[in-house]
Amino acid sequence: MSKDKKVLIPRSNRLCKIDNIAFYGSADLEQDDPAYHEAYEAAKHVAKRGKVVINGGGPGIMEAATRGAKAGGGKTLVVTFYPENLPEFEGRDDNNIADKEIKTANYIERMFGLMDNADLFVCFKGGTGTLSEWATAWLLAHLYYGNHKPLILYGSFWREVVDTIHKHFMIGYKEAQVYRIVENLEEFKVALRIFDEEMAARRLKNG
């Protein structure tokens, strides 16, 4: 491999602190969808706690996250790419106005760029793109367990999804410890606080 080739690999945070939070979810949701409102309010809460909100720079849940963060007085980062001949990819949305943008060369770099820059992932309802992001983030949390980045799965439907996966796939104990399912904003606040406390304990343990 030539030295000028850059391979983007998600980093593990040995002394991880939750400063940056990535929001995943459908690009097709309109502002009147309940999930859009939930993402907006969750991002607003995150911003009020001094954390940076990260998303893919598109519409739907991504736009809601950026708008919510702005309403909470926080900072935003989008990780994007500008595709050609990719008709089913939503791309960059002009209404998603972030403080900083990282442009990548392709979809894979975009996905791992989001993961690399985030310390925790919040997953709302979405399509195959959201599924791929969630599954990859979950896999990395398992592989880096002990130095992992946790996930919050937002929505009651996740219980059925996860129950089905646990029933039909070989999911271990540790894989079940890296995520929490929440159904509303209050549960989200609790889950975020618990993960913050777990990270603080991890830092103390690792010195």
- What does the chain come to in residues? 207
Q: Which of 47-61, 82-96, 174-188 has the lowest mean pLDDT?
A: 82-96
Average pLDDT over residues 77-95: 86
Residue 13: the pLDDT is 45
Q: What is the pLDDT of the chain when averaged over all its residues?
A: 91
Domains of the chain: 20-206 (3.40.50.450)
The answer on pLDDT for 22 being more than 70 is yes
The answer on pLDDT for 178 being more than 70 is yes
Residue 176 DSSP symbol: G
Residue 104 DSSP symbol: -
Residue 200: the pLDDT is 87
Residue 85: the pLDDT is 80
Q: Which of 39-53, 79-93, 112-126, 182-196 has the lowest mean pLDDT?
A: 79-93
The answer on pLDDT for 18 being more than 60 is yes
> Closest Cα to residue 146, out of 199, 207, 72, 78?
199
Amino acid identity of residue 87, one-letter, is P
Residue 121 DSSP symbol: E
Give the confidence band of 202 by pLDDT, cuts at 50, 70, 90.
confident
The answer on pLDDT for 42 being more than 90 is yes
> Closest Cα to residue 72, out of 98, 50, 56?
50
Average pLDDT over residues 136-143: 96
Q: Which secondary structure element, helix H or strand E, spans residue 143, and what is its range?
A: helix 128-143
The Cα–Cα gap between 139 and 137 comes to 5
Tokens 């009147």 label which residue? 32
The answer on pLDDT for 1 being more than 80 is no
What's the whole-model pTM score?
Answer: 0.90
Burial of residue 196 (number of CB atoms within 10 Å: 0-12, 13-18, 19+):
middle
Q: Helix, strand or coil for residue 125?
A: coil
Average pLDDT over residues 84-95: 82
Whole-number Cα distances in Å, 157 to 82, 111, 164, 176: 32, 23, 11, 17
What number of helices (H) and strands (E) belong to the chain? 6, 7
Residue 207: the pLDDT is 64
The Cα–Cα gap between 41 and 24 comes to 14
